[in-house]
Amino acid sequence: MKALGDDGLTAAAIEEAFGEIRKDDLDWKSGRCFAYVFSAGEDVQEVAKRAYTAFMTENALDPTSFPSLVRMENDLVEIATELVHGPAAVGNFTSGGTESILLAVKTARDHARAERNIEQPDLVVPDSVHPAFHKAAHYFGLEIISVPVRKDFRADPEAMAAAINERTALVVGSAPSYAQGVIDPIPELAEAAAQRGVLMHVDACVGGFFLPFLEQSGASVPAFDFRVPGVTSMSLDLHKHGYCPKGASVILYAQPALRRHQLFAHKRWSGYGITNATVQSSRGGASVAGAWAVLRHIGATRYRKLQSEVRACVLELCAGIEAIDGLRVLGEPDGSLLAFCSDTFDVFTLVDAMRERDWYVQPQFAHRHVPKSVHLTVTPINVPHREAFLADLASCVSDLRSTAPTGSVGADPMAALAAAFRSGQLSIPDAIASIGADPTKTAGASAAINRVLDQLPPEQAEAVLREYFHQMYAAG
Ligand SMILES: *Cc1c(COP(=O)(O)O)cnc(C)c1O
């Protein structure tokens, strides 16, 4: 066996192999990476590691065999319902925000079919909604109606109300949205939904374990949780601002009856009566135990402190970015996420310039009236680096302003490539190769490919992205 090897590796050899395997990974421990990793410190990592390995082999497939996992899951749900003020709420532990959202959408679909006799339900969402809702609609064969956001990047309640129709199963708002980090007007959206007898989901994947602690610390936070009449379900990610190991989120329903539409049971085969609360069937106890240990280890007092520090850092970053000539923060971010754009130069080039200086920030595409931008997710590990970040940002911007004349975006040779691609003269693999992107190497200059993707119609850009991944996962 060439790929597997006939002789097993020793534990030491495996450790050594990891060193080589991970050499090109993002160095998130530097605190210079504003995405993907949420860490609350070394002690928390240690606690998580121990809990994770302690329950690594247990299986939550059959909760009657492992009551320990049910108990920890129920504890996690109870902590979450207390945070977002759902005294009657019930819920489940899931593998992440996407799974929580898939379940919320499936529940809404089956509720609409069972209680309202709607065979082909649809969803009404703001443009800023997380792609997981589009993925859910795609997976479950539902129509999704995406409504433009207001100039402040928040959902437009009047336009959303107008989009609700007799087939609508679910209205969605975010607290906050990922891309611009703003909280949608949840009370208005929930009222519009409730008036039509429609369910309302609040996507608090990123805010669910963040905003409540800010509010407890005395900050004013817009209403977003179960205290708002009409909010019927919420998603909260433990692996974001709960600082739990990856693979941890909760889905909550304000009323227990709603959750019945989430569950799956099957006995039409010659095996055991399989019953699943969530998407997964066999699921490791590791992430449940890891999440339980981290929440209990951090405790409310430290969460309040951590989240307040992150929030203060966000406000400082926003002020610092606004003070840099040529940069502008998008809207007024409400939590730990923010985005900024430039009206004078190409921010995709800025992303690469910052990468040269070992900062990782995320490029975001333009959509309708929202310009392309740079996204930052701020976590405790970033806080000590805020001044160094702003200094390098200002320095990169001044380099770009002196080297890149205004309007260079339009004259970009990449535009010609995008045009060739649009007119069908280029195949997708040709396009990937000709912009110098190598699917076998994930690091490197991103501005060129992002400019092309930005200029392509969404269907073609999505085809390029899928093809890029197709090739990446085939490269052995
Ligand atoms: C992260 C996120 C999600 C998706 O969660 P995953 O855990 O990545 O699957 C959904 N909504 C928002 C607002 C998010 O930030």
Task: Give tens-digit pLDDT for 415-466.
Answer: 777 777 777 777 777 777 776 666 666 555 688 888 888 988 999 899 989 9
Mean pLDDT over 313-338 rounds to 98
Mean pLDDT over 320-326 rounds to 97
Q: What is the pLDDT of residue 440?
A: 63
Expressed in angstroms and rounded, the spacing between residue 104 Cα and the centre of ligand 1 is 13
pLDDT tens for each residue of 184-236? 999 999 999 999 999 999 999 999 999 999 999 999 999 999 999 999 999 99
Q: What is the pLDDT of residue 420?
A: 75
Expressed in angstroms and rounded, the spacing between residue 97 Cα and the centre of ligand 1 is 5
Q: How far is CA 324 from CA 19, 180, 213, 345, in A?
A: 39, 19, 31, 13
Closest to 290 (Cα-Cα) out of 251, 235, 242, 236:
242
pLDDT band at 405 (very low <50, low <70, confident <90, very high): low
Structure tokens at 334: 């409400």
On whether the CB atoms of residues 372 and 347 are closer than 8 A, the answer is yes
Residue with tokens 């981290």: 294
Structure tokens at 269: 């085969």
In 3-state terms, what secondary structure has residue 9? coil
Q: Which of 102, 206, 224 to mutate to test the pocket of ligand 1 (most atoms within 8 A of CB)?
A: 206
Q: What is the pLDDT of residue 410?
A: 46
Q: Is the pLDDT of residue 247 over 50?
A: yes
Q: Is the pLDDT of residue 254 over 90?
A: yes
Expressed in angstroms and rounded, the spacing between residue 314 Cα and the centre of ligand 1 is 19
Q: What is the pLDDT of residue 442?
A: 53
The whole-model pTM stands at: 0.95
Position with higher pLDDT, 285 vs 468: 285
Q: What is the pLDDT of residue 250?
A: 98
pLDDT tens for each residue of 82-118? 999 999 999 999 999 999 999 999 999 999 999 999 9
Residues 6+ apart with CB under 8 A from 383: 31, 309, 310, 313
pLDDT tens for each residue of 128-173? 999 999 999 999 999 999 999 999 999 999 999 999 999 999 999 9
Q: Choose the weakest-confidence range: 3-12, 223-232, 345-354, 458-467.
A: 458-467
On whether the CB atoms of residues 160 and 147 are closer than 8 A, the answer is yes
On whether the CB atoms of residues 66 and 60 are closer than 8 A, the answer is yes
Q: Is 178 in the pocket of ligand 1 (CB under 6 A)?
A: yes
**pLDDT over 90 for what percent of the chain?**
84
Q: What is the pLDDT of residue 447?
A: 87
Task: Kindly report the protein residue whose alpha carbon is nearest to atom 3 of ligand 1.
Answer: 97
Expressed in angstroms and rounded, the spacing between residue 203 Cα and the centre of ligand 1 is 8
Q: Is the peptide bond before 176 cis (omega within 30 degrees of 0)?
A: yes
Q: How far apart are alpha carbons 214 and 304 in whole angstroms?
A: 6
For the chain, give the number of residues.
476
Q: Which atom of ligand 1 is nearest to 99's Cα?
A: 9
Q: How far apart are alpha carbons 20 and 109 in whole angstroms?
A: 46
Q: What is the pLDDT of residue 409?
A: 43
Handedness of CA 321, 324, 327, 331 (dihedral sign): positive
Q: What is the pLDDT of residue 424?
A: 75
Expressed in angstroms and rounded, the spacing between residue 335 Cα and the centre of ligand 1 is 14
Residues 6+ apart with CB under 8 A from 42: none
